[in-house]
């Protein structure tokens, strides 16, 4: 899809994903409005650029709605969230206010202002959730599906994915720094597996959801997963230093393995043609979902234990690519 002349309203646009999306959109001639509560990062990142800045919080519906009404975007990409899993276990009220109520505010404002498409950026933690962060995002996904069910025109959809290398909060740069400093790497478990991909891959997934959404779906990229010992071996190759490790056990809210496509979602899963992207269609909808760009997905569910890759060299390449994004 060409985004030339299209106007994007991006919540949380000062975050890692927001910045990467903006970097992709501006050269294509798109107009970008960033809505975030971090005035310092807004000034640092966007002063002197074509990006328009709006200081605000998704918790504030009136400010959000007014901003959208004034700027009249074609699309809303809702990337803003509270994401630190262990912290959210101790502040579930704050997680609900931002991740659930904030997402509801975004969807309401999109509906009120007749936005063409509104995309929620979710997380693999929302699939079969066991922690506060995942639970609040799970509800947000369901709200977007429900808004689409009642929407006369605005298309709502979501996209979920795993750990993004070199994003804010990623453990990869932290581990690499610790190895170089001679510190012990604190591993949850040597059996732990995680889906890993780059910021560029994440942008592809978000824009893929925007391009192919027809209403109420959740999109999931097909990406590889790795065990923590494989990650450590890859980081040792990159740094040229032998790592010291210390197994600490599960942190609050952590899973041993992650899910992105549940067994119960398989009957509704379709492969986007020529894309590593799965469309999970809503179980209830008033829209007609065309099969023009899709074929039925007949593979297994996405659990990080099932999709493990042990090729250290390919992970080295992936990490090095991710660190450059």
Domains of the chain: 7-162+197-222+259-302 (3.40.50.720)
Q: Does residue 102 surpass a pLDDT of 80?
A: yes
List the single range of 212-221, 225-234, 246-255, 267-276 with lowest mean pLDDT: 246-255
pLDDT for the residue 146: 97
Q: Is the pLDDT of residue 202 over 90?
A: yes
Q: Is the pLDDT of residue 169 over 80?
A: no
- Dig out the tokens for 21 from the structure: 């999306």
Q: Has 125 been annotated as catalytic? A: yes
The answer to whether residue 171 scores a pLDDT higher than 90 is no
Alpha-carbon gap, residue 143 to 107, rounded angstroms: 8
pTM of the model: 0.96
263-277 per-position pLDDT tens digit:
999 999 999 998 999
Q: Is the pLDDT of residue 283 over 80?
A: yes
| Alpha-carbon torsion (245, 249, 254, 259), positive or negative | positive
Instruction: Please enumerate in sequence order all residues whose Cβ is within 8 A of that of 318, keeping only pairs 6 or more positions apart, or say none.
Output: 165, 196, 197, 198
Confidence of residue 250 (pLDDT cuts 50, 70, 90): confident
Mean pLDDT over 259-288 rounds to 95
Q: What is the per-residue pLDDT for 217?
A: 97
Per-residue pLDDT tens digits for 45-81? 999 999 999 999 999 999 999 999 999 999 999 999 9
- What local confidence, expressed as pLDDT, does residue 167 receive? 84
How much is the average pLDDT of 7-12?
98
Mean pLDDT of the chain: 95
The reported pLDDT for the residue numbered 158 is 98
Residue labelled with tokens 């519906």: 61
Residues 6+ apart with CB under 8 A from 314: none
Give the span between the Cα atoms of 126 and 193, in whole angstroms. 17
Please identify which of the residues 125, 137, 233, 275 carries the catalytic annotation. Answer: 125
Mean pLDDT of 145-156: 96
pLDDT over 90 (residue 289) = no
């Amino acid at each position: 899809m060409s985004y030339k002349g299209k106007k994007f309203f991006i919540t949380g646009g000062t975050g890692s994903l927001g910045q990467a999306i903006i970097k992709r959109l501006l050269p294509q001639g798109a107009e970008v409005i960033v809505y975030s509560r971090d005035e310092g990062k807004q000034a640092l990142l966007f002063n002197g650029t074509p990006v328009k800045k709006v200081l605000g919080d998704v918790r504030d519906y009136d400010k959000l709605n007014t901003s959208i009404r004034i700027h009249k975007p074609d699309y809303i990409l809702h990337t803003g969230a509270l994401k630190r899993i262990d912290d959210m276990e101790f502040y579930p009220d704050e997680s609900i206010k931002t991740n659930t109520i904030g997402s509801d505010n975004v969807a309401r404002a999109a509906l009120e202002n007749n936005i063409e498409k509104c995309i929620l950026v979710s997380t693999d933690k929302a699939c079969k959730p066991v922690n506060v962060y995942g639970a609040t995002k799970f509800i947000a996904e369901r709200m977007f599906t429900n808004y689409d069910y009642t929407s006369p025109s605005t298309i709502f959809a979501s996209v979920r994915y795993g750990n993004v290398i070199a994003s804010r909060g990623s453990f990869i740069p932290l581990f690499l720094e610790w190895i170089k400093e001679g510190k012990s790497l604190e591993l949850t478990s040597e059996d732990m597996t995680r889906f890993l991909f780059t910021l560029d891959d994440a942008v592809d997934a978000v824009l893929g959801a925007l391009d192919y959404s027809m209403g109420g779906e959740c999109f999931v990229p097909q990406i590889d997963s790795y065990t923590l010992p494989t990650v450590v071996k890859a980081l040792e190759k990159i740094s040229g230093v032998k790592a010291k490790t210390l197994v600490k056990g599960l942190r609050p809210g952590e899973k041993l393995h992650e899910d992105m496509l549940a067994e119960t979602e398989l009957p509704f899963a379709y492969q986007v043609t020529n894309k590593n992207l799965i469309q999970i269609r809503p179980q209830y909808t008033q829209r007609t979902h065309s099969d023009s760009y899709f074929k039925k997905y007949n593979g297994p569910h996405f659990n990080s234990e099932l999709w493990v890759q042990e090729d250290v060299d390919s992970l080295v390449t992936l990490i090095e690519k991710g660190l450059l994004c």
